[in-house]
Structure 1
Amino acid sequence: MTERMTMPATGRTPVLVKICGLSTAETLQAALDAGADMIGLNFFPKSPRAVSLETGAALAAQVRGRAEIVALTVDMDDDGLAAIVEAVRPDWLQLHGSEDPVRVSALQRQFGLGVLKAIGIRTVDDLAEVARHAGIADHLLIDAKPPAGAVLPGGNGVPFDWALLDGIEPGRPYMLSGGLNPANVADAIARTGADGVDVSSGVETAPGIKDVALIRAFIAAVRGDTTNIEDRRRSGERTVT
């Protein structure tokens, strides 16, 4: 396992980029070539982005040494997590369910991996969960809370009001997620000062179908190439603020 990277402690560059829910060698290679820092492999069976252990292990082998490998799970039991750790050898566990701080701490001790804990935000009241996990998880992923009745805890392509993060001091570096895409990610970073950004549906043409051009455009926008953003604005595409 490579030494895990540490996110910057402030919103200054470089902002880390995580492309999540990759499931093919072609799109994964595009993300690596474009400079993604973290690659997310989804092991939540209900997700259209889910991969098997066998596929996940093959994709992880393609990534290893070039970017960090993140295994996304949702309220998975110890046996399931152990199987992923053994087969995939991730650098991080992304806990995207209702895992509480006690569970997060237990998994850190059990597996010795970094833990990226996802927190869903819709209203100011949801920020209490950020405080609960800030001293526990290695890093936080502040995501849009799924709409009522949604099957997926993330990857729904819905942003939240970034103004809710004004003045937030989570005590840990954090990644921003939820409704990000090539047209709005630069604004999101400027507005929130996030240490990293995470995208899944925002670089897809359909649920689970990643698009090479969108992956490249997203990473270029984060790195400061705003050509695609300005083209989209001139064409009338609406951005989220």
Structure 2
Amino acid sequence: MKLKVCGLTKMDQIQELISLNTNFLGFIFYEKSPRFVLNHLSLEGISAINHQGKVGVFVNETIEKIAEISEKSNLNFIQLHGDEDENFIKDLRKNVKKEVKLIKVFRVGETFNFQFSIFNSLVDYFLFDTDSKAFGGTGKTFDWQILNEIEIPIPYFLSGGISLENIKNLQNFVKVNMRENKTLTKLNTPFALDINSKFEIEPGSKDLEKIKTFKSLLK
């Protein structure tokens, strides 16, 4: 299972995460976020980072702005964390490089009632996060078992309050999926885990020792 560390703002921590073979590096381009990356790093600085898993996180941003940031910072993935619909994504796809992968986020509450099948052919990955009134991380988990009740036809990232404290529950969730979902059409086992606030000293500053421990437990 792959790992994404999101909300990065410090270049020294980014380089250490690269040395730890972290699969995805998440940069938040949402001005209202306490982890807004452009308060700390430039687009040119992000572009110079030698990594194939740079993810830009956007919330209800314009297509023009996403395309500009994606180009200038040399992103590999675009994560849409707002209310972007299928028409928006179709237009976005036309305005970014074809090799850039798209991730569509769904915020899960007590139930999951999204008609997300319309996005199957438009994006490369889904990401399931905990629902909240505000956009972005809550530090809280949702009931992961909800994902067992739906068919997920493309790979997905699991997010929302993942921590060292609930890694046992996470491991059990993955084991159940691997045991019960054996058909090729059901990909309910997460493709990657997305961690953020539970592995921080303060917003944007990661606790690298916690991340190292988490990675070792995942193995």
Q: Same fold (TM over 0.5)?
A: yes
Aligned to 2:86: 101
What is residue 17 of structure 1 aligned with on the other side?
3
Check 1:42–1:29 CA distance in 2 against 1; reply closer, same or farther (3 A cut).
same
Give the residue type in structure 2 aligned to 1:70.
V
**1:116 matched residue in structure 2:** 103
Residue 144 of structure 1 aligns with an amino acid whose one-letter code is T
Q: Secondary structure at the residue paired with 1:159?
A: coil
Q: Which runs of 5+ in 2 are unaligned?
A: 175-188
> Aligned with 2:93: secondary structure?
helix
Instruction: State the SS of the aligned residue for 2:64.
Output: helix
Distance 2:210 2:62 in 1: 34
Residues 185 and 101 (structure 1), Cα distance of their counterparts in 2 relative to 1, 3 Å cut? farther
Q: CA deviation at 1:82?
A: 2.5
TM-score by length of 2: 0.84
Pick the aligned partner of 1:85 from 70, 83, 108: 70
In structure 1, the partner of 2:34 is 48
Identical aligned pairs, as a percentage? Answer: 27
Report the RMSD for the aligned CA atoms in angstroms: 2.0
Which residue of 183, 191, 196 maps to 1:200?
Answer: 196
In the alignment, the residues of structure 2 paired with residue 132 and residue 204 of structure 1 have an alpha-carbon distance, to the nearest angstrom, of 35
Question: Which residue in the other structure is 1:137 paired with?
Answer: 123
After superposition, residues 2-13 of structure 1 pair within 5 angstroms as none
| SS of aligned partner of 2:48 | helix
Deviation at 1:179, TM superposition (A): 0.4
CA distance in 2, matches of 1:36, 1:69: 11
- After superposition, the C-alpha distances for 1:135-194 in whole angstroms (9 at most, x for unaligned) are 321100011111x4x3xx122101101111114321110010000013324532540421
Q: Which runs of 5 or more structure 1 residues have no equivalent in the other structure?
A: 1-14, 225-241
Structure 1 residues 181, 60: closer, same or farther in 2, change over 3 A?
farther
2: distance between equivalents of 1:77 and 1:45?
A: 13
Corresponding residue of 1:69: 54
Residue 120 of structure 1 aligns to a residue in which SS?
A: strand
Question: 1:34 aligned to 2:20?
Answer: yes
Q: What secondary structure sits across from 2:37 in the alignment?
A: coil
- Tell me what 2:178 maps to: none
**Counterpart residue type for residue 57 of structure 2:** L
Q: Secondary structure at the match of 1:166?
A: helix
Aligned-residue offset at 1:60: 4.0
* 1:190-224 CA-partner distances (Å, limit 9, x unpaired): 404211110111211223322121222222222x2
Per-residue deviation, 1:107? 1.1
Asked whether the 8 Å contact 2:67–2:92 carries over to 1, the reply is no
Following the alignment from structure 1 to structure 2, what is the Cα–Cα distance between the partners of residues 129 and 178? 21
Tell me if structure 1 keeps the 8 A contact 2:52–2:76. no
Number of corresponding residues: 202
Kept in 1: contact 2:63–2:95 (CA 8 A): no
Aligned to 1:238: none
**Letter aligned with residue 36 of structure 1:** T
Q: Distance in 1 between matches of 2:170 and 2:144?
A: 8
